[in-house]
Amino acid sequence: MRHSSLIILSLLLIIGCSDKRDPQALPTATKPNPENWPTTAWKYDTLKSSAHFRPLIDSFPGKYSLLIVNNGQIAFEHYQEPYAKDSLIHVNSCTKTVISLLFGAVFKEQLDLNENRAAIDYFPEYAINDSLIRKIKVRHFLSMSSGLNWKGGIDATDVIRMSNTSDWAKYVFERAVAEPPGENFHYNSGGTQVISTILHKQTNEGLMAFAQEQIFNPLGISAFKWDRTPKGIPKAGWGLHLKMQDMARLGYLLLKKGKWNDAQILSDEWVAKMSAKHIAANSEYDYGYQVWIPKTIGTEGFLFRGSYPPSTKIVAVLPELNSVVVYVGENYHTIDLLRDFIVPVLKKGW
């Protein structure tokens, strides 16, 4: 009997000791996998990844700076003057995507109501009763399909004329309707300014203060500049200046479907709507709500995109690869950069 008791006691001791396993020996599935939220600073994971991305510096010509975020950490960065790491860069039309992001934040609880409302309804002071203008919904300005006769881009006649007025939104509504809204893509920075003006009117302290309190501060964006119109409204088409790592933060917010740490800053519904195709733009891109959707980069994605000589800027959000790419530089062939260099490396991993 005593012999049996000793055997049982020995077995219990063995079992007890064997349960005190090294945590590192636990199966991978049981290890915590926290999100990397770069609220104060980005984490780096460049030891192995840099070797994979370094060859593209010699292969992709021109002066540029490049930042690649993968799995919430900086996987590669390369900076060339005048696009330095801490430079406030004029992001040009990338500002438009930030306006769409802010639309989702301002109208968080009533997105459908406000995107489907006639845009002119927000401006009773203009006393414009044109029945064709009333057919333009806010969503048509968001998707660059307002149907207004507008000269922008290379022929920037309307952009220049609008910039020389005191009321930019009013100038837009005074343009003629050339075709039914929602049928065709026509790039119109003035339409984005209408959206910015709507948001500015809807926020108690103005859009700039709202953006800082509700978006920039939570994301850890403390240094920025945003040019304003004569009425003090943020210039929506091209007015924002940001650091490259802060451009990546905005991309990462959309990559994470509007979530930051424990807060749902934007609804995932709005992020999905922003990044969905609303109209065909050209052979290379479809267009969402102030975002470009490339057709030929070899993975799902959407872009903030802005250009003004001598440089072009993109923030590419690549959900399938859990990555964000920020490029600022003098080579405008950013589709080639993504398709031929960056996406293949991200797909292979390291």
Handedness of CA 198, 172, 275, 311 (dihedral sign): negative
Write down the pLDDT at residue 8.
39
The pair phi, psi for residue 181, each rounded to 5°, is -60, 145
Distance in angstroms (rounded) separating the CA atoms of residues 262 and 62:
40
Write down the pLDDT at residue 66.
97
CA-wise closest residue to 313 among 211, 242, 265: 242
CA 241-286-275 angle, 5° bins:
60
Low-confidence ranges of the chain (pLDDT < 50): 1-33
Calculate the alpha carbon distances from 179 to 75, 176, 238, 282, 338 in Å: 46, 9, 26, 18, 35
Name the one residue in this structure whose structure tokens are 């924002």.
240
Beta strands in the chain (DSSP E): 43-44, 64-70, 73-78, 89-90, 225-226, 240-242, 259-260, 263-264, 279-280, 285-287, 292-294, 302-308, 311-318, 323-329
Burial 238-266 (b: 16+ CB within 10 A, else e): bbbbbbbbbbbbbbbbbbbbbbbeeeebb
Q: Is 287 left (phi over 0), alpha (psi -120 to 50) or beta?
A: beta
- State pTM to two decimals: 0.89
Q: What is the pLDDT of residues 21-45, one digit of tens each?
A: 333 333 333 333 457 899 889 999 9
Q: What is the pLDDT of residues 264-280, one digit of tens each?
A: 999 999 999 999 999 99
Write down the pLDDT at residue 14.
37
Domain boundaries, the chain: 50-348
Distance in angstroms (rounded) separating the CA atoms of residues 292 and 302:
6
Write down the pLDDT at residue 31.
34
Distance in angstroms (rounded) separating the CA atoms of residues 173 and 169:
7
Burial 294-327 (b: 16+ CB within 10 A, else e): beebbbebbbbbbbeeebbbbbbbbbebebbbbb
**Are the beta carbons of 152 and 188 closer than 8 angstroms?**
yes
Chosen CATH of 50-348 out of 3.50.50.60, 3.40.50.11540, 2.40.110.10, 3.40.710.10: 3.40.710.10
Write down the pLDDT at residue 34.
56
The pair phi, psi for residue 220, each rounded to 5°, is 80, 25
Q: Which two tokens stand for residue 123?
A: 């401006």
Q: What is the pLDDT of residues 324-349, one digit of tens each?
A: 999 999 999 999 999 999 999 999 98
Write down the pLDDT at residue 33.
40
In this structure, the chain runs to a length of 350
Helix boundaries (H) for 82-188: 94-106, 111-115, 138-142, 157-163, 168-173
Write down the pLDDT at residue 36.
84
